[in-house]
Chain A
Amino acid sequence: MSDSRTVLLDRVKRALGRTPEEDARASERVATWARESRAAFVPARGQLTPEDRIGLFIEYARAVQTEVERVSGPDAIPAVVSRYLRRQNLPQKLVMAPEPALDEADWSSQPLLRITRGTADDSDQTGLTLATAGVAETGTLLIASGSERPTLLAYLPETCIVVLATDRIVGSYEQAIQLHLDETGDLPRSLNFITGPSRTGDIAQKLELGAHGPRRLFVVLVDPEGSAPGPADRGP
């Protein structure tokens, strides 16, 4: 294996044919490139005021069949979740990420709702997790994996519910990752960017939802307690 490594790198070097002096300049160019590529090509579309970003996020998310409902304060989450499950004719049962931030909501307010914490397995019909960020540019969610946010929650169950704080909606994918890096200083094993429920066009290019991942994606947008929701708050 190490032999193949040498051969392969050798082939590349030979094909590029740099002299030793050029080699030094090449390393310099690589360093410059990294500095200059930082967020240099972000489209203007998502670079808006916070309220407009929320509006754009909702618009693009709904365009790809994500359902969005906006509420004020974490205490409103359980009722919205319970109502959603009822509307979809689903059991009042879900598996929830062991994320402490989700405990800010008073889940005991919905006594019918049965909740387990952890990652999902095949028998779970509904998973609930917390988004690291929202990306206004295309209505995309970012979920960073970790001990409190297992990734499979967003992929195995047929219904995926994601809680997203409105003050975590940024303009671009790059800004979403930066938000995570600023808080944790580290790239997680998995950064999952999710734009709508699972879909396929593999049968005669006809769009069908729920190919392998969730058939339904429901985003609960949460405004910080006390702040009045803006004009884009109307639910589906």
Chain B
Amino acid sequence: MHATSLAFEAQSKVALANPALQDAMGNIKTGWQANRTRAAAALPEFEALRDRGRAIKNHTLQHLDLYLEMFEEKVTAQGGHVHYARDAAEARTIVLDLCRTAEARAVTKSKSMVAEEIGINEYLEANGIERIETDLGEYIIQLRKERPSHLVGPAAHLTKDQVSDTFHEHHHTPRIEDPAALVAEARRVLRQKYFEADVGITGANFLVAETGSFVTVTNEGNAELTQGLPRTHVVITSIEKLVPTMDDAFTLLRLLARSATGQEFSSYTTLMTGPRREGDLDGPENLHIVLVDNGRTKMLGTAFQEMLRCIRCGACMNHCPVYLAAGGHAYGWVYVGPMGSVLTPQFAGIENTYTLPNASTFCGKCEEVCPVRIPLPKLMRHWREVQFERNLTPPTARWGLKVWGFFARRPALYRLGTSFAMGMLGLFGRKAGRFKQLPLAGGWTVSRDLPAPAGTTFMAAYKKSGARVR
């Protein structure tokens, strides 16, 4: 899938000038962000669970080969099938083949980010298979031909009025504004689709190695209808979703809902093990689990292995000042916000995405709220280094860094330079107390003033105080 991440700056300018988007993003602060704070505070063990969640994922990744084999063995023993996909193209072929074997004309789909990542949506449609998204947010953006703008709420960038317009246009019904009526209308339209589908595609939040089970989490109940009604269930998921035991899955589930939406637990958490059993009155007869690599094994054993702990809760974006201003679409690919700034260069290539690790103020809030304690700023910094090494940094920035590097390696010269600059700034700024404009810093002063410095540097003041400099 083509990434438009290099246009981050232009795309975020459009986003900042879009009042509907700014309105919609404001909801995240009062909603998910505030709810997460409350939910985390309400569980005394929350911080301990975060440590445990981190340990579970680290242990799994260190033994991923063993857990993959264990998982496959269990799934096969229950009558399910495991498929391995090296990359996105292979994953698409596997899924299409499964749909063809099931003679599928229509498939229902419950939200899966891995499915977005491998570009299955366009691929199925190009091959004549009708695809219907069942998650309400995902359904809305399917109608609007947009990408998800958030991990948990794919339509988080839209206001109610925009949804009203979209339904009015596509359902050929009178325009309604009441959110309850909009939800009811989507329910009615999608209900028929569940029964018409030949294949149900879902993702998985966790795969449990010891039992060969997989877990889906929704608030709408759409995953259960998607996998429960058609004869064939295809799970598109990735290798890092594994956890060793069921108890480990529940530790992470306790973190997931609280971190994502601030709920104590999502409405529907379902742990599925194998296809329909003898005597069962419902459930799919065929179960296929597609395990996607698509670059994840390249992260294993490197600094980016820590990113494979991610459980896709979206807390990092809900708390990111850049994401909350620019929205998800500015990031130009499937994964957005801080986690996207680390993952997207891996999947779409740093040469196509180097703007993303730079789209951060490094305020550190993302790491602070990450349920599995991924050092997101550190990993973005790693990408910046790769960008510099591969000569992708713009010439002015390279030149600036070189100049700074020259002085930084010569402390005496550096101090001389800074004390001169501070002296000048202190002198010229004494009267107004601030600068409305500064040469070479127009971009910075366009939206704020620079308070005038005291006229001396910290080092000079420190020396003067008589304290010993070691």
Which residues of A line the B interface, CB within 8 A?
A: 1, 4-5, 7-9, 11-13, 15-17, 26-27, 29-30, 33-34, 37-41, 43-45, 60, 63-64, 98, 118-119, 122, 138-140, 145-147, 150-152, 155-156, 172-174, 177, 187-206, 208, 210-214
Contacts and interface: CB of A to CB of B under 8 A. Distances in A.
Contact of B279 (A30, A39, A147): A147
B220 A4 contact: no
A64 B35 CA distance: 14
B282 A150 contact: yes
A187 B219 contact: no
Interface size class of B (residues with CB under 8 A): 35 or more
A61 B376 CA distance: 36
B64 A147 contact: no
Between A138, A192, A193, the greatest number of chain B beta carbons within 10 A of the residue's beta carbon is seen for A193
A42 to B, nearest CB: 8
A15 B48 contact: no
Contacts of A40: 247
Given A44-B45, A155-B225, 7 more contacts: A5-B84, A151-B224, A192-B270, A198-B267, A208-B179, A211-B220, A212-B220
Contact of B219 (A8, A60, A155, A199): A199
Interface in B266-287: 266-277, 279-283
B36 to A, nearest CB: 13
A208 to B, nearest CB: 4
Given A193-B268, A196-B267, A197-B267, A212 B222 contact: yes
Interface of B: 24, 27-28, 31-32, 43-45, 48-49, 52, 56, 59, 62-70, 83-86, 90, 94, 134-137, 140, 153-156, 158-160, 163, 179-180, 182-184, 186-187, 190-191, 195, 210-211, 213, 219-222, 224-225, 228-229, 239, 244-248, 250-251, 253-254, 261, 263-277, 279-283, 291, 293, 297-298, 300-301
The 8 closest A-B pairs by CB, nearest first: A213-B221, A147-B279, A202-B137, A211-B220, A15-B300, A11-B297, A15-B301, A150-B281
Contacts of A208: 179-180, 183
A204 B136 contact: no
Given A15-B301, A206-B179, A194 B65 contact: no
B86 A12 contact: no
A13 B195 CA distance: 43
B220 A213 contact: yes
Given A4-B85, A33-B59, A204-B158, A12 B222 contact: no
Contacts of A214: 221
A205 B184 contact: no
B228 A155 contact: yes
Given A26-B63, A189-B275, A208-B183, A198 B221 contact: yes
26 contacts: A1-B84, A4-B86, A8-B68, A11-B297, A12-B68, A15-B297, A30-B67, A41-B52, A43-B45, A60-B264, A119-B282, A147-B280, A173-B253, A177-B246, A187-B211, A188-B277, A200-B136, A200-B219, A200-B220, A203-B183, A204-B160, A204-B179, A210-B183, A212-B136, A213-B221, A213-B222
B32 A119 contact: no
A170 to B, nearest CB: 13
Contact of B153 (A27, A152, A201): A201
Contacts of A206: 160, 179
B245 A213 contact: no
B100 to A, nearest CB: 15
B267 A64 contact: yes
Contacts of B52: 41
B250 A16 contact: no
B405 to A, nearest CB: 34
Given A30-B66, A204-B27, A205-B156, A4 B90 contact: yes
A21 B58 CA distance: 21
Nearest to A194: B268
